[in-house]
Structure 1
Amino acid sequence: MKKNLFKIAILIATIATSFPAIAQQKTGFHVLKDLPIGSSGGWDYILVDGANKRIYTSHGNQVNVLSTVNGDSIGYIPKTMGVHGIALVNSLDKGYVSNGRANSVSVFDIKTLKVLAEIPVGTNPDAIFYDDFSKKIITCNGRSKDATIVDPVADKVVATVPLGDKPETAVSDGKGKVFVNGEGTSTVIVFDATSYKEITRYKIDGGESPSGLAIDRTTNRLFIGCGDSKTMVIMDAADGKTIAKFPIGGTDGVVFDPGLKIAYASNGEGTISAIRELNANKFEFVENITTEPSARTIGIDLTTHKLYLPAAKTEPNPAGGRPKQIPGTFHVIEVGK
């Protein structure tokens, strides 16, 4: 009997000490505060420059720039018609904004936020990013179904890559390959970052209408947020094989934190789905972090590990379709520990 009691005591102790370990697996993230922006207007992408403590958020026909330190307004970049995304080339002190309605990219001075030039690109440029391998700015053009390659030194278009599908988001592996989400065919399109030639295409297994996309360059894994199927598909960037799939929400944005080894998908229902990478072939669902409805895109500060999401209060649209934004409620949500 004493032996049995001793075994039970050990079992209870083991279970008790296991619970804190399990609890530590959660992110501990929650909404820290809201950063208000008084004017009205729609939004899309948000970019966080942790090194320079700035947040760039698309908003109507301008880009609002906030401080990550206190949330104060630093200024704004005007006349970015139908703005979608923002990219930075800090070594040149220049930034780039994709103007969906103007079919152009605005070039601005990072220090003054003054617009320096406007570059014609494809039709309805959406996502935009700086590829640190080729040292080029790349835009995903929704209606012309191609990608525009811009040399940020000369601020000139040097190539156009036909994609044959509506491109949503693109990332680089830092070694010469660019990966693009093809929304219409649920395909990842891969092209060479220097020759601008298509290399291959990967059909996304179990995911439809891919939007958000991130990459772990160390393990060569793609994190694909598929909005229609509400799925995150984790893919081997080398051969397109599916490594894992997780149910999430109606996402429009995905970021990856290489320090914490966590991918985050922002869901319009009002959550962030967190997926942890245990190793290159093993992943686990961590939790859904509560934000608020309409917070569907996401940016990450890699210096502080905080997340930022643009959002606004909405009300039903009498004409149907997408809910109407309540004037004066646009803000950026800060999420962290």
Structure 2
Amino acid sequence: MTHTRISRGRTFTGAAALALCSLLPAAHAQKSYAVETKWTIGGEGGWDYLTMDAPAHRLYVTHGPKVEVLDTTTGKVVGQLTGYKSTHGVALDPDGRFGYVSDGAGNAVYVFDRATLANVATIPAGTNPDGILFEPKTKTVWAFNGRSKNVTVIDTKTRTVVATIALPGKPEFPQADGTGMIYDNIEDKNEIVRLDANTLKLTGEWPLTGCESPSGMAIDITGHKLYSVCDGKKMAVTDYAAGKLLGLAEVGDGPDAAGFDAKTGLAFSSNGEGTLTVVNTKAKNFPAVETVKTVLGARTMAFDESTGRIYLAAAIMGPKPAPSAANPRGRAAALPGSFMVVVVGKQ
């Protein structure tokens, strides 16, 4: 919240007082973001993508070998998707009937019924399917395979693989623009690729100069922009109609996911350092207008377009161990039972 401070003992002229009064409504009308609550889920295992189903008020949270399903009106777990080895992402059809889970260790995509949360089909994918999306024009599901560096395209009517498209490097988060075009970050090449769902071909590659290891991506369909978060505390802004990098915004350290609010023109970066960066995409040079303290390690997120809320996955981390043969980077482990969803909203 922006506050206007008035020094004691200073006399204002009538014009100055009027000018100050004209500023106060705008200052007090401005809303900032803050953590509203934390929903404890518990259990053990790592996590990856979160997927929001706004019409159904459901949040899908990948969590180790299962997917937690939360009711966003109550914060309660209403079910689980199970039977997997290592979950990464969830894609949803626009009809509210079926969902698709990428099982990285299982090298497969599972189809589930959203009413019963039962698995109804298993479709083989490439090696370590990670990012996944539903392309609405062609009614296909695209599973981006991290280790085999390709994408598996699935016809949702027949539930069969119709294409496997080679990629120039390791894919990360994908987005679709609704016209049949799909965009994906290539992490080890520092670039974006464009794929045509109509022809099942790769049709463009654009460098992200100044963006190291792009991971999470958000899309502004009306403005034809992509927001890719990168190592080095950057968010790359790309005009996907022109295939041109427009600039780099400053964000927090260790970002892994991004979001975009079409109503406000704000983009979000969830950062492993325990912050959420809010970026004004309508302003010159894309300034960061707010940094919200969240929870250490809360680097993946989903944006709820119906409420403007942001949901982040996190856990309370134990002490950082010394590097060892089993844990060469000395990564801290999450404390058992501490897994949670952090809810951020406007105040």
Fold shared, TM-score > 0.5 on shorter chain: yes
Distance in 1 (CA, whole Å) between partners of 2:97 and 2:139 is: 14
* Partner in structure 2 of residue 326 of structure 1: 335
2:196 to 183, 192, 195: 192
* Partner in structure 2 of residue 242 of structure 1: 245
Distance in 2 (CA, whole Å) between partners of 1:231 and 1:282 is: 12
- Is 1:254 the equivalent of 2:254? no
Q: CA deviation at 1:236?
A: 0.7
Q: Is contact 1:209-1:229 (8 Å) kept?
A: no
Distance in 1 (CA, whole Å) between partners of 2:25 and 2:296 is: 31
Distance in 2 (CA, whole Å) between partners of 1:234 and 1:294 is: 24
* Partner in structure 1 of residue 4 of structure 2: none
- Is 1:208 the equivalent of 2:212? yes
Q: CA deviation at 1:152?
A: 1.4
- Amino acid aligned to 1:275: V
Q: CA deviation at 1:51?
A: 0.3
Q: CA RMSD in A?
A: 1.9
TM-score by length of 1: 0.93
Q: CA deviation at 1:282?
A: 6.5
Q: CA deviation at 1:23?
A: 5.5
* Partner in structure 2 of residue 170 of structure 1: 174
Q: Is contact 1:65-1:74 (8 Å) kept?
A: yes
* Aligned pairs, number: 330
1:302-317 alignment, distance < 5 Å:
302-317=305-320
* Partner in structure 1 of residue 97 of structure 2: 93
1:69-148 alignment, distance < 5 Å:
69-91=73-95, 93-148=97-152
TM-score by length of 2: 0.90
Q: Specify whether residues 20 and 245 from structure 1 end up closer, same or farther in structure 2 by C-alpha distance, changes over 3 A only.
A: farther
- Is 1:157 the equivalent of 2:145? no
Any gaps of 5 or more consecutive residues in structure 1?
A: none
Any gaps of 5 or more consecutive residues in structure 2?
A: 1-9, 324-329
Deviations 1:186-212 (A, max 9, x none): 000112111111111100021110001
- Amino acid aligned to 2:263: G
- Is 1:17 the equivalent of 2:52? no
Q: Give the SS at the match of 1:286.
A: strand
Q: CA deviation at 1:38?
A: 2.0
Deviations 1:189-248 (A, max 9, x none): 11211111111110002111000101111010111111x221011111122322231111
- Is 1:64 the equivalent of 2:64? no
Deviations 1:96-125 (A, max 9, x none): 100110110111110010111111101011
Distance in 2 (CA, whole Å) between partners of 1:294 and 1:92 is: 31
Q: Give the SS at the match of 1:18.
A: helix
Q: Identity of counterpart residues, as a percentage?
A: 38
Q: Give the SS at the match of 2:300.
A: coil
Deviations 1:260-285 (A, max 9, x none): 22111100111111112327x77432
Distance in 2 (CA, whole Å) between partners of 1:92 and 1:24 is: 36
Q: Give the SS at the match of 1:21.
A: helix
Q: Is contact 2:136-2:180 (8 Å) kept?
A: no
Q: Specify whether residues 318 and 121 from structure 1 end up closer, same or farther in structure 2 by C-alpha distance, changes over 3 A only.
A: same
1:233-312 alignment, distance < 5 Å:
233-249=236-252, 250-278=254-282, 283-312=286-315
- Amino acid aligned to 2:343: E
Q: Specify whether residues 90 and 201 from structure 1 end up closer, same or farther in structure 2 by C-alpha distance, changes over 3 A only.
A: closer
Q: Is contact 2:260-2:266 (8 Å) kept?
A: yes
Q: CA deviation at 1:92?
A: 6.1
Distance in 1 (CA, whole Å) between partners of 2:29 and 2:219 is: 25
Q: Is contact 1:67-1:73 (8 Å) kept?
A: yes
Q: Give the SS at the match of 2:22.
A: helix
Q: Give the SS at the match of 2:282.
A: strand
Distance in 2 (CA, whole Å) between partners of 1:23 and 1:130 is: 41
Deviations 1:295-318 (A, max 9, x none): 000001111111111100002342
Q: CA deviation at 1:286?
A: 1.6
Distance in 2 (CA, whole Å) between partners of 1:115 and 1:157 is: 18
2:33 to 25, 29, 34: 29
